Amino acid sequence: METLQHFALLLVGGALVNNILLTRFIGICPFFGVSGAMETSVGMAGAVVFVMTLATTATWVFWNVLLEPLGVGEFLYIPAFILVIAALVQFVEMYLRKMSPALYRSLGIFLPLITTNCAVLATATESVRPGFFTMGVEYTFGFGEALVYTLGVAIGFGIALISFAALRERLEVAPVPEAMKGTPMAFITAGLLSFGYVGLGGLFGL
Amino acid sequence: MREWVAVYKRGLALDNPLTVLMIGLCAVLAVSTKVEGAFFMGLAVIFVLGMSSVIVSSIRHLVPEKVRIPVFIVIIASFVTIVDLTMKAFLPDVYDFLGVWIPLIVVNCMILGRAEAFSYHKPVRLAIADGLGMGTGFTIVIVGLAFIRELFGSGEIVFLGARLLSLPAGYPAPGILVLFPGAFIVFGFIVALTGWYNRRTAGRTVETSAHCTIEEGGR
């Protein structure tokens, strides 16, 4: 039971309390880039859940099997993780194109975009060296914990992206002052949306 | 020389990476709670952007088109690692404050975007101008945003332990400015202001759109 609660807290902490987009600003580029239309936002959210989970699996194994035992993790992790993630995304893209054309059509164009998405690298980094999300104590995530945490973060990304896309669709027809049209108004809307997440701060002591 | 200055100055206002091109926003919104952190983040970005522009530009004839993105990423990642370790050694407090944002400079689409759009096609001296100009434009915006948020959000500005500026005692500091909604809202107004300024001075219509989508980050 204890562990179940622990995993549930990791999931909620990653998804809502420390929402990666609205409270920590990681991965803001696609947030403003693709949120113009509902359809692309849903596709992007799906692709992020998929890639982020895979990427953390790969980098966690890579860190614990290769980098950490060899003692080179401290100064090689940045290029190593980027290359692992980029290679992984390439393989996934090729595999999907061949094996599942339907899924490829819905996720395809987002996959290369995600390689350079900071959210994926940040989550992968935090899963092996948790400096930000420690729940009070410094410790290293086990494999299961890393996976659940990543899943939580990815779901939080999806929730924020899709709700923001819905807001922006309404904003299209709203009367906005000339100078604020477009991006400035989108930022202010995002600010108002993130007010909601202020209220979640400190929930369950996360 | 005049060309050099012209390229340098583009990064400051007309093609400012943050307020006009809308690339590399994440770090700006996140670390602009403190002037100190924002300043060193700006320095780190100037260094990485300047150095990677020089290297990318000087090897542009050697790198085949097809493998250019991995090559750029490895070059950028090397300079980020230098910054990462240097800052950890000499400025541990700032390093703790910036945290995950130092490694994230690698995936800051601004740097990859400039390598791709400018340095890969231009001679070294112009690439330096572009790198430094974009870096300076970044630093101005991030420090400006941090200045507004720290001064009005907490009532004083503390830089490396010294108090530089403070509002009169009894000022009811609206803490929301230092929290995350403040970043979005203040930045929204800065974007609106830059757009207005650019339209006024240059008589040029500036497309403000989130740029880091398929064409910038997506290769």
| Cα gap B199→B193, rounded to integer Å | 10
Better-scored residue on pLDDT, A42 or B207? A42
* Structure confidence by residue, pLDDT tens digits, A119-176: 888 888 888 776 555 444 455 678 888 888 889 989 999 999 999 999 988 888 888 8
> Which among B70, B81, B208 has CB closest to A78?
B81
Q: Which of A75, A180, A187 sits opposite B184 (nearest CB)?
A: A187
Q: So what's the pLDDT on residue B122?
A: 87
**Whole-number pLDDT of residue A132:** 52
Question: Is residue B44 within 8 angstroms of chain A, CB to CB?
Answer: no
CA pair distance B125, B178, nearest whole angstrom? 40
The per-residue pLDDT of chain A, averaged, comes to 80
Closest CA to A121 of B112, B34, B115, B135: B112
Type of residue found at A56? T
Rounded CA-CA distance A122/A81 in Å is 10
Q: Do A32 and B214 touch (CB under 8 A)?
A: no
Please give the pLDDT value at position B204.
Answer: 53
| Rg of chain B taking only CA atoms, in angstroms | 18
pLDDT of residue B178: 79
Is the ipTM value over 0.90, yes or no? no
Are A180 and B192 spatial neighbours (Cβ–Cβ below 8 Å)?
Answer: yes
Cβ burial of B12 (10 Å; 0-12, 13-18, 19+) is middle
Q: Which residues of A touch B112 (CB under 8 A)?
A: 116
Q: What is the mean pLDDT of residues A6-31?
A: 82
A:B CB pairs within 8 Å: 145
Among A78, A168, A198, the strongest candidate for a mutation testing the B interface, having the largest count of B CBs within 10 A, is A78
Question: Which residues of chain B register pLDDT less than 50?
Answer: 205-219
Contacts with A, B 114-173, CB within 8 Å = none
pTM, rounded to two decimals? 0.79
A194–B184 CB contact, under 8 Å: yes
Q: What are the domain boundaries of chain B? A: 2-205
B209 contact residues in A (CB cutoff 8 A) = 182-183
